[in-house]
Amino acid sequence: MSVVDPVRVHGVSFRYANAAGAALHDVSLGVRAGECVVLCGASGCGKTTLTRVVNGLAPAFFHGDLDGSAVTCGVDAARGPVDRLTPLAGSVFQNPKTQYFNANTTDELAFPCENMGMPADEIGRRVADVARRFDVTGLLDRDAFRLSGGQRQRIAVAAATVLGPRLVVMDEPTGNLDAAAVDDMRRAVIRLKAEGVAVLIAEHRLAWLNGVADRYVLCERGRITREWDAGEFLAMPAGRVADLGLRATDLGPARSRVARLKASAPAVGGADDGALLRTEGLVVGYGGRSRRASPLRRRGRGERRDAFRRAIPDMALRRGEIVGLMGRNGAGKTTLVRTLTGLSRPLSGRILLDGAPARARGLMRVGFLVMQDVNQQLFADSVRGELSLGMDPSDGDLAARRERLLDDLDLADVADRHPMSLSGGQKQRVAIGSALMCGKGLIVLDEPTSGLDRPRMERVGALLRDLARRGAAVLVVTHDEELAAGWCDRVIGMSS
């Protein structure tokens, strides 16, 4: 055999600098050309670290001690700069917002070629070619910040492939995509396999890989504990998959339950049915004034921020109820929840709070939006301080309420830590805690489970239930069928 396997990891152990325990213990893994291998397992099991070892980021960028041998596309990945692997192995990361180095999509596709020192005409040829193969020609020369998450991930795959690598490594590429965008991702992986590219994917969401993945590898506490070929893995009963802590491989049951939850949405009652919030003839959106606010020009033509209007069927949100809001990217979900929390003004129609028409200011007082990126919602230097930030300290009841809430949200152990030093789930709970301290009656969560494994997703679900039990109206914007099926009382579907 003259062709070496793109991934050959042998007996690798890795410990991050400044970390107590090892992230990987004696791991071995091979991926052949044209093969798609899925790394699954709970958060923190070491699958991300393994992808970093394969694409050379650990230990070159994420410093630490590596034992064993990691050979990627014939290059010793454990030694030397990351960029020796650039033409051989492409990488796609989870967060579509931050893996872009350029603001313009064509620049991003050309970027690896430029770094390889290719002449301009060859760059142009390669960009056009890769755009055609991955069906992103229509997305060329656009502002990456104006694309949807799914469109950005498609560009990211194309950018990882533009140099014709033998391996593509993906670290949770669908973390935050809607069903249609996940389908696009699936097509892209099929394309890569057909071209003989090896694909290594670390992923929580598994259903989209059915029929694409050839092997599944389970990581647990830094070790590879199980391996299945696709047939064996998909034949496992749903309960067994759940016991392993994995997301469902078959979303059929979840999808049909969501469909039932959508159908069973009750008719909107009269004004006196005790709903916290109800909408009447609401139209949400934003105006079509063009805005140029960029340091260096980002393309003039067709760049106008388009006007957006969406009529919302009348809806009601009640205390103690968890309502799911689902629909494709671009259906107006975000604009709707921003309007419901008073952050945007409705274009027409009105919103009633406890039966009385409410203005934006009133809605802002009652509602809270837990954003997808919760990092921008925390301000204080300790979790305890965060909960009582901006409150009247002379309120004698304050401290007692705060301590109770810390216990309820399972934050008592970290009460003195800085909120930004916590895990994502803990930060989410701190943000929710700050909203509860303000006495918010409506808690809106935007994609609270994106990129979460099953146990963590279930904890979020339990948290939603707990919020509802406390008497809050909970509205959750989500693409996660498993969350919606398991925890929502009703689902409102928005079509575009």
User: Near another protein by CB under 8 A, which window of 179-187, 274-282, 360-368, 484-492?
Assistant: 360-368
Question: What are the percentages of helix, strand and coil residues in the chain, rounded to 5?
Answer: 35, 25, 40
Contact between 99 and another protein (CB under 8 A)? Answer: yes
For the bound state, the minimum distance from the C-beta of residue 56 to another protein, rounded and expressed in Å, comes to: 8
Stretch 296-355 residues interacting with another protein (CB under 8 A):
296-300, 341-343
DSSP-assigned letters across all residues of 400-460: HHHHHHHHHTT-GGGTTS-GGGS-HHHHHHHHHHHHHHTT-SEEEEESTTTT--HHHHHHH
For the bound state, the minimum distance from the C-beta of residue 158 to another protein, rounded and expressed in Å, comes to: 12
Alpha-carbon gap, residue 324 to 337, rounded angstroms = 12
Phi, psi of 478 (to 5 degrees): -155, 150
Residue type, 400: A
Q: Which of 453, 383, 465 is nearest to 203 (CA)?
A: 453
User: Near another protein by CB under 8 A, which window of 242-250, 282-290, 318-326, 367-375?
Assistant: 367-375
User: Near another protein by CB under 8 A, which window of 84-92, 256-264, 405-413, 463-471?
Assistant: 84-92
Stretch 412-431 residues interacting with another protein (CB under 8 A):
417-421, 423-425, 427-428
367: buried, middle or exposed (CB in 10 Å: 19+, 13-18, 0-12)?
Answer: buried
Stretch 117-156 residues interacting with another protein (CB under 8 A):
117-120, 123-124, 127, 141, 145
Stretch 28-67 residues interacting with another protein (CB under 8 A):
43-44, 47-49, 55-57, 60-63
Is residue 176 a contact partner of residue 451, using CB atoms and an 8 Å limit?
yes
Sign of dihedral through CA atoms 247, 253, 259, 261? Answer: negative
Contact between 465 and another protein (CB under 8 A)? Answer: no
For the bound state, the minimum distance from the C-beta of residue 409 to another protein, rounded and expressed in Å, comes to: 15
Contact between 456 and another protein (CB under 8 A)? Answer: yes
For the bound state, the minimum distance from the C-beta of residue 68 to another protein, rounded and expressed in Å, comes to: 21
Among 13, 72, 105, 176, binds another protein (CB under 8 A): 176
Q: Which of 159, 160, 175 is nearest to 450 (CA)?
A: 175
Contact between 175 and another protein (CB under 8 A)? Answer: yes
Provide the angle, in degrees to the nearest 10, between the axes of the packed helices 105-115 and 120-133. 120
**Binding footprint of another protein, residue count (CB under 8 A):** 105
Please say which residue, 225 or 375, places its beta carbon nearer to another protein: 375
User: Near another protein by CB under 8 A, which window of 29-37, 172-180, 276-284, 395-403?
Assistant: 172-180
For the bound state, the minimum distance from the C-beta of residue 277 to another protein, rounded and expressed in Å, comes to: 15
Count of H helices and E strands in the chain?
16, 20
Is residue 468 a contact partner of residue 318, using CB atoms and an 8 Å limit?
no
Among 179, 265, 371, 415, binds another protein (CB under 8 A): 371
Alpha-carbon gap, residue 375 to 404, rounded angstroms = 24
Residues in a beta bridge with 475: 323, 444
Among 190, 230, 398, 438, binds another protein (CB under 8 A): 438
Stretch 245-304 residues interacting with another protein (CB under 8 A):
292-300
Contact between 372 and another protein (CB under 8 A)? Answer: yes
CB hemisphere CA count around 272 (13 angstroms): 0
Stretch 179-208 residues interacting with another protein (CB under 8 A):
204
Contact between 436 and another protein (CB under 8 A)? Answer: no
Please say which residue, 107 or 183, places its beta carbon nearer to another protein: 107
Alpha-carbon gap, residue 323 to 388, rounded angstroms = 28
